[in-house]
Structure 1
Amino acid sequence: MNNSPIVQEYSYENQAQVIELILQIQQQEYKIPITKEEQPDLYTIEEHYQTGSGNFWVALYDENVVGTISLLDIGNNQVALRKMFVNKDYRGPSYKTASLLLDTAIKWAKERPVKAVFLGTTPQFLAAHRFYEKNGFISIDLNDLPENFPVLQVDKKFYKYVLDKN
Protein backbone atom coordinates (compact mmCIF):
# COMPACT_ATOMS: atom_id res chain seq x y z
CA MET A 1 0.00 0.00 0.00
CA ASN A 2 1.18 3.52 -0.78
CA ASN A 3 2.45 5.17 2.39
CA SER A 4 1.54 8.70 1.32
CA PRO A 5 -1.82 10.34 1.85
CA ILE A 6 -3.81 11.45 -1.18
CA VAL A 7 -4.42 15.19 -1.52
CA GLN A 8 -7.68 16.25 -3.12
CA GLU A 9 -9.90 19.29 -3.23
CA TYR A 10 -12.23 19.70 -0.29
CA SER A 11 -15.82 18.62 -0.65
CA TYR A 12 -18.65 19.04 1.84
CA GLU A 13 -18.48 15.34 2.82
CA ASN A 14 -15.10 16.15 4.47
CA GLN A 15 -16.47 18.95 6.69
CA ALA A 16 -16.97 17.06 9.97
CA GLN A 17 -13.51 15.46 9.80
CA VAL A 18 -11.88 18.79 8.84
CA ILE A 19 -13.43 20.54 11.85
CA GLU A 20 -12.50 17.69 14.18
CA LEU A 21 -8.87 17.61 13.00
CA ILE A 22 -8.36 21.38 13.21
CA LEU A 23 -9.96 21.74 16.64
CA GLN A 24 -8.02 18.77 18.03
CA ILE A 25 -4.69 20.29 16.95
CA GLN A 26 -5.56 23.82 18.08
CA GLN A 27 -7.19 23.01 21.41
CA GLN A 28 -5.63 19.78 22.63
CA GLU A 29 -2.20 19.63 21.06
CA TYR A 30 -1.28 23.33 21.19
CA LYS A 31 -3.66 24.52 23.94
CA ILE A 32 -4.88 27.46 21.86
CA PRO A 33 -8.19 28.64 23.33
CA ILE A 34 -10.13 28.90 20.07
CA THR A 35 -13.55 27.42 19.42
CA LYS A 36 -15.30 26.29 16.26
CA GLU A 37 -17.71 29.20 16.76
CA GLU A 38 -14.74 31.56 16.42
CA GLN A 39 -13.94 29.97 13.05
CA PRO A 40 -17.14 30.34 11.00
CA ASP A 41 -15.12 29.78 7.81
CA LEU A 42 -15.04 26.07 8.71
CA TYR A 43 -18.76 25.92 7.99
CA THR A 44 -18.57 27.77 4.68
CA ILE A 45 -15.38 26.40 3.14
CA GLU A 46 -16.74 26.37 -0.41
CA GLU A 47 -17.91 29.99 -0.29
CA HIS A 48 -15.01 31.26 1.80
CA TYR A 49 -12.01 29.52 0.23
CA GLN A 50 -13.00 27.92 -3.07
CA THR A 51 -13.44 31.15 -5.03
CA GLY A 52 -11.19 33.20 -7.28
CA SER A 53 -7.59 32.04 -6.93
CA GLY A 54 -8.40 30.31 -3.65
CA ASN A 55 -9.06 26.68 -2.82
CA PHE A 56 -9.09 24.20 0.07
CA TRP A 57 -7.54 20.72 0.07
CA VAL A 58 -7.58 17.72 2.35
CA ALA A 59 -5.02 14.96 2.74
CA LEU A 60 -6.74 11.60 3.02
CA TYR A 61 -5.26 8.39 4.36
CA ASP A 62 -7.59 5.39 4.28
CA GLU A 63 -10.47 7.84 3.69
CA ASN A 64 -9.64 9.75 6.88
CA VAL A 65 -8.76 13.44 6.78
CA VAL A 66 -5.20 13.67 8.13
CA GLY A 67 -4.33 17.14 6.87
CA THR A 68 -5.72 20.39 5.47
CA ILE A 69 -4.47 23.47 3.66
CA SER A 70 -6.17 26.38 1.95
CA LEU A 71 -5.45 29.45 -0.10
CA LEU A 72 -7.72 32.43 0.49
CA ASP A 73 -7.93 34.90 -2.40
CA ILE A 74 -7.23 38.32 -0.86
CA GLY A 75 -7.20 40.23 -4.15
CA ASN A 76 -4.41 41.98 -6.02
CA ASN A 77 -3.07 38.60 -7.28
CA GLN A 78 -2.28 37.56 -3.71
CA VAL A 79 -3.46 34.70 -1.52
CA ALA A 80 -3.29 33.89 2.16
CA LEU A 81 -2.25 30.38 3.14
CA ARG A 82 -4.68 29.27 5.84
CA LYS A 83 -5.79 26.21 7.77
CA MET A 84 -2.59 24.19 7.34
CA PHE A 85 -2.98 21.37 9.82
CA VAL A 86 -1.57 17.84 9.85
CA ASN A 87 -2.51 15.09 12.29
CA LYS A 88 0.59 14.49 14.44
CA ASP A 89 0.67 10.82 13.44
CA TYR A 90 1.09 11.83 9.78
CA ARG A 91 3.82 14.46 10.17
CA GLY A 92 7.41 14.00 9.16
CA PRO A 93 9.30 12.11 6.45
CA SER A 94 7.32 8.86 6.65
CA TYR A 95 4.15 10.32 5.18
CA LYS A 96 5.28 13.72 3.83
CA THR A 97 1.74 15.02 4.38
CA ALA A 98 2.71 18.66 4.96
CA SER A 99 4.93 18.70 1.86
CA LEU A 100 2.21 17.11 -0.27
CA LEU A 101 -0.31 19.71 0.90
CA LEU A 102 2.02 22.68 0.43
CA ASP A 103 3.21 21.45 -2.97
CA THR A 104 -0.42 21.12 -4.10
CA ALA A 105 -1.26 24.66 -2.96
CA ILE A 106 1.86 26.22 -4.52
CA LYS A 107 1.28 24.36 -7.80
CA TRP A 108 -2.33 25.65 -7.81
CA ALA A 109 -1.15 29.23 -7.18
CA LYS A 110 1.45 29.00 -9.96
CA GLU A 111 -1.30 28.01 -12.42
CA ARG A 112 -3.18 31.22 -11.61
CA PRO A 113 -2.24 34.89 -11.75
CA VAL A 114 -1.01 34.74 -8.15
CA LYS A 115 2.19 36.66 -7.42
CA ALA A 116 2.62 35.99 -3.71
CA VAL A 117 1.42 33.77 -0.87
CA PHE A 118 1.26 35.22 2.65
CA LEU A 119 0.64 33.46 5.94
CA GLY A 120 0.37 34.16 9.61
CA THR A 121 1.07 31.63 12.32
CA THR A 122 1.39 31.42 16.07
CA PRO A 123 4.65 31.54 18.02
CA GLN A 124 3.97 28.02 19.36
CA PHE A 125 4.19 26.36 15.94
CA LEU A 126 8.01 26.19 15.87
CA ALA A 127 8.12 23.14 13.61
CA ALA A 128 5.81 24.96 11.20
CA HIS A 129 8.18 27.94 11.14
CA ARG A 130 11.08 25.66 10.16
CA PHE A 131 8.91 23.92 7.56
CA TYR A 132 7.86 27.17 5.88
CA GLU A 133 11.40 28.54 5.89
CA LYS A 134 12.76 25.29 4.43
CA ASN A 135 10.16 25.59 1.65
CA GLY A 136 11.09 29.09 0.51
CA PHE A 137 8.93 31.31 2.71
CA ILE A 138 10.65 34.37 4.11
CA SER A 139 9.80 35.88 7.47
CA ILE A 140 8.23 39.33 7.20
CA ASP A 141 6.98 41.97 9.60
CA LEU A 142 3.30 42.55 10.30
CA ASN A 143 3.64 45.90 8.52
CA ASP A 144 4.79 44.14 5.33
CA LEU A 145 1.51 42.24 4.91
CA PRO A 146 -0.92 43.36 2.20
CA GLU A 147 -3.70 45.51 3.60
CA ASN A 148 -6.30 42.86 2.62
CA PHE A 149 -4.54 40.13 4.63
CA PRO A 150 -6.89 38.93 7.37
CA VAL A 151 -4.70 38.88 10.48
CA LEU A 152 -5.98 36.50 13.13
CA GLN A 153 -5.67 37.35 16.80
CA VAL A 154 -3.38 34.35 17.40
CA ASP A 155 -1.06 35.22 14.48
CA LYS A 156 2.17 36.84 15.60
CA LYS A 157 4.65 35.53 12.98
CA PHE A 158 4.25 36.19 9.27
CA TYR A 159 5.70 34.82 6.06
CA LYS A 160 5.72 35.57 2.34
CA TYR A 161 6.38 33.28 -0.62
CA VAL A 162 6.97 34.98 -3.97
CA LEU A 163 5.94 32.92 -6.99
CA ASP A 164 8.38 32.97 -9.85
CA LYS A 165 6.31 33.94 -12.89
CA ASN A 166 9.11 33.75 -15.48
Structure 2
Amino acid sequence: MKINIQQLDNSYSDELIDLILTIQQKEFNVPITIEDQPDLKQIESFYREPGGNFWGAFIEGELVGSIALVKFDERAGAVRKMFVKKEFRGKELNIAQELLGVLVSFCRENGIHSIYLGTVTILKAALRFYERNHFVEVEKENLPTRFPLMNADNVFYSLHLKENQTV
Protein backbone atom coordinates (compact mmCIF):
# COMPACT_ATOMS: atom_id res chain seq x y z
CA MET A 1 0.00 0.00 0.00
CA LYS A 2 1.42 3.31 -1.08
CA ILE A 3 0.82 6.30 1.18
CA ASN A 4 0.44 9.67 -0.49
CA ILE A 5 0.69 12.72 1.78
CA GLN A 6 -0.52 16.00 0.36
CA GLN A 7 -1.56 19.48 1.44
CA LEU A 8 -5.28 19.90 1.99
CA ASP A 9 -7.56 22.82 1.25
CA ASN A 10 -11.23 23.56 1.85
CA SER A 11 -12.32 21.06 -0.82
CA TYR A 12 -11.36 18.28 1.62
CA SER A 13 -13.46 19.60 4.53
CA ASP A 14 -16.21 16.99 4.29
CA GLU A 15 -13.77 14.06 4.13
CA LEU A 16 -11.80 15.48 7.07
CA ILE A 17 -14.91 16.03 9.17
CA ASP A 18 -15.99 12.44 8.51
CA LEU A 19 -12.53 11.06 9.43
CA ILE A 20 -12.03 13.18 12.55
CA LEU A 21 -15.52 13.15 14.06
CA THR A 22 -15.78 9.37 13.63
CA ILE A 23 -12.56 8.88 15.62
CA GLN A 24 -13.39 11.52 18.25
CA GLN A 25 -17.01 10.58 18.87
CA LYS A 26 -17.45 6.92 17.98
CA GLU A 27 -14.06 5.47 18.86
CA PHE A 28 -13.04 7.55 21.89
CA ASN A 29 -16.37 9.06 23.03
CA VAL A 30 -14.86 12.55 23.19
CA PRO A 31 -17.82 14.96 23.63
CA ILE A 32 -16.95 17.20 20.67
CA THR A 33 -18.97 18.21 17.62
CA ILE A 34 -18.32 19.94 14.32
CA GLU A 35 -19.65 23.14 15.94
CA ASP A 36 -16.69 22.93 18.34
CA GLN A 37 -14.28 22.71 15.40
CA PRO A 38 -15.24 25.36 12.82
CA ASP A 39 -11.62 25.34 11.62
CA LEU A 40 -12.37 22.11 9.71
CA LYS A 41 -14.48 24.17 7.31
CA GLN A 42 -11.87 26.95 7.05
CA ILE A 43 -8.66 25.10 6.28
CA GLU A 44 -7.20 27.82 4.08
CA SER A 45 -8.01 30.84 6.27
CA PHE A 46 -7.44 29.14 9.66
CA TYR A 47 -4.35 27.06 8.93
CA ARG A 48 -2.63 28.07 5.71
CA GLU A 49 -2.96 31.88 5.50
CA PRO A 50 -1.41 32.55 8.96
CA GLY A 51 1.62 30.40 8.02
CA GLY A 52 0.62 26.89 9.05
CA ASN A 53 -0.66 24.03 6.93
CA PHE A 54 -2.90 20.97 6.82
CA TRP A 55 -1.95 17.59 5.36
CA GLY A 56 -3.80 14.41 4.60
CA ALA A 57 -2.54 10.85 4.14
CA PHE A 58 -4.24 8.98 1.32
CA ILE A 59 -4.16 5.32 0.35
CA GLU A 60 -5.73 4.54 -3.03
CA GLY A 61 -7.57 7.87 -2.93
CA GLU A 62 -9.04 7.36 0.54
CA LEU A 63 -8.24 9.89 3.27
CA VAL A 64 -6.85 7.75 6.11
CA GLY A 65 -4.96 10.29 8.22
CA SER A 66 -4.47 13.97 8.94
CA ILE A 67 -2.22 16.44 10.71
CA ALA A 68 -2.28 20.23 10.87
CA LEU A 69 -0.09 23.04 12.10
CA VAL A 70 -1.43 26.30 13.51
CA LYS A 71 1.29 28.95 13.48
CA PHE A 72 0.54 31.04 16.57
CA ASP A 73 3.80 32.92 16.99
CA GLU A 74 6.76 34.02 14.89
CA ARG A 75 8.71 30.82 15.61
CA ALA A 76 6.09 28.54 17.19
CA GLY A 77 3.27 26.33 16.02
CA ALA A 78 0.67 23.96 17.44
CA VAL A 79 0.00 20.45 16.15
CA ARG A 80 -3.68 19.92 15.54
CA LYS A 81 -5.96 17.29 14.04
CA MET A 82 -3.51 14.37 14.21
CA PHE A 83 -5.70 11.39 13.37
CA VAL A 84 -5.28 8.05 11.62
CA LYS A 85 -8.17 5.70 10.83
CA LYS A 86 -8.15 2.74 13.19
CA GLU A 87 -7.55 0.09 10.52
CA PHE A 88 -4.53 2.01 9.17
CA ARG A 89 -2.72 2.59 12.49
CA GLY A 90 0.46 0.96 13.67
CA LYS A 91 4.08 0.51 12.72
CA GLU A 92 3.31 -1.50 9.59
CA LEU A 93 2.17 1.53 7.58
CA ASN A 94 3.68 4.14 9.93
CA ILE A 95 1.23 6.82 8.76
CA ALA A 96 1.39 8.89 11.94
CA GLN A 97 5.18 8.94 11.75
CA GLU A 98 5.07 9.99 8.08
CA LEU A 99 2.60 12.78 8.85
CA LEU A 100 4.66 14.08 11.76
CA GLY A 101 7.77 13.98 9.57
CA VAL A 102 6.08 16.17 6.96
CA LEU A 103 4.99 18.65 9.64
CA VAL A 104 8.48 18.83 11.19
CA SER A 105 10.08 19.36 7.76
CA PHE A 106 7.60 22.16 7.06
CA CYS A 107 8.50 23.77 10.41
CA ARG A 108 12.22 23.60 9.65
CA GLU A 109 11.73 25.08 6.17
CA ASN A 110 9.60 27.90 7.57
CA GLY A 111 11.64 28.90 10.63
CA ILE A 112 9.32 27.39 13.23
CA HIS A 113 11.53 26.13 16.05
CA SER A 114 9.01 25.15 18.74
CA ILE A 115 6.05 22.85 18.30
CA TYR A 116 3.36 22.44 20.96
CA LEU A 117 0.27 20.28 21.20
CA GLY A 118 -2.59 19.45 23.46
CA THR A 119 -4.29 16.08 23.70
CA VAL A 120 -6.35 14.03 26.14
CA THR A 121 -5.16 11.38 28.60
CA ILE A 122 -7.57 8.80 27.15
CA LEU A 123 -5.46 8.64 23.96
CA LYS A 124 -2.73 6.45 25.47
CA ALA A 125 -1.18 5.40 22.16
CA ALA A 126 -0.97 9.03 21.08
CA LEU A 127 0.83 9.98 24.28
CA ARG A 128 3.37 7.18 23.75
CA PHE A 129 3.80 8.24 20.11
CA TYR A 130 4.61 11.85 21.03
CA GLU A 131 6.99 10.79 23.78
CA ARG A 132 8.80 8.40 21.39
CA ASN A 133 9.23 11.39 19.08
CA HIS A 134 11.02 13.49 21.72
CA PHE A 135 8.02 15.59 22.78
CA VAL A 136 8.25 16.60 26.43
CA GLU A 137 5.23 17.09 28.68
CA VAL A 138 4.53 20.72 29.62
CA GLU A 139 2.31 22.01 32.41
CA LYS A 140 -0.64 23.97 31.09
CA GLU A 141 0.46 27.13 32.92
CA ASN A 142 3.87 26.94 31.19
CA LEU A 143 2.45 26.99 27.66
CA PRO A 144 3.14 30.09 25.55
CA THR A 145 0.49 32.75 26.16
CA ARG A 146 -0.66 32.63 22.52
CA PHE A 147 -0.98 28.82 22.39
CA PRO A 148 -4.47 28.04 21.01
CA LEU A 149 -6.09 26.00 23.79
CA MET A 150 -8.82 23.48 23.04
CA ASN A 151 -11.35 22.79 25.80
CA ALA A 152 -11.04 19.00 25.69
CA ASP A 153 -7.23 18.93 26.03
CA ASN A 154 -5.73 18.05 29.40
CA VAL A 155 -2.17 16.97 28.50
CA PHE A 156 0.33 19.23 26.73
CA TYR A 157 3.64 18.60 25.01
CA SER A 158 6.39 20.59 23.34
CA LEU A 159 9.19 19.80 20.94
CA HIS A 160 12.03 22.23 20.35
CA LEU A 161 13.66 21.45 17.03
CA LYS A 162 17.40 21.09 17.08
CA GLU A 163 19.52 21.43 13.95
CA ASN A 164 20.12 17.76 13.17
CA GLN A 165 17.31 16.08 15.09
CA THR A 166 15.07 13.74 13.14
CA VAL A 167 11.67 12.45 14.15
The alignment's TM-score, normalised by the length of structure 1, stands at 0.95
> Partner of 2:138 in structure 1?
140
| Match for residue 22 of structure 2 among 15, 21, 24 | 24
Aligned partner of 2:129 in structure 1 is 131
How far is 1:48 from its partner? 0.3
The DSSP-based 3-state class of the residue aligned with 1:82 is strand
Distance in 1, Cα, partners of 2:40 & 2:12: 11
Q: 1:51, 1:73 within 8 Å by CA — same for their partners in 2?
A: no
Hey, what does 1:108 align to over in structure 2?
A: 106
- The alpha-carbon deviation at position 4 of structure 1 amounts to 3.8
- Aligned-partner Cα distance in 1 for 2:155–2:57: 25
Listed as ranges, the matches of 1:1-166 within 5 Å are 3-165=1-163
Identity of aligned residues (%): 38
Rate the CA distance shift 1:6–1:97 in 2: closer, same or farther, 3 A. same
TM-score normalised by L of structure 2: 0.94
Instruction: State the distance in 2 between where 1:4 and 1:158 align.
Output: 32
Structure 2: distance between partners of 1:54 and 1:165: 20
Gaps of 5+ in 2: none
What's the offset of the Cα at 1:11?
A: 2.5
* Structure 1 ranges of 4+ moved more than 6 A: none
**C-alpha separation in 1, matches of 2:22 and 2:113:** 33
More divergent stretch after superposition (47-56 vs 76-85) = 47-56
Q: CA deviation at 1:165?
A: 4.0
Structure 1: gaps of 5 or more residues:
none
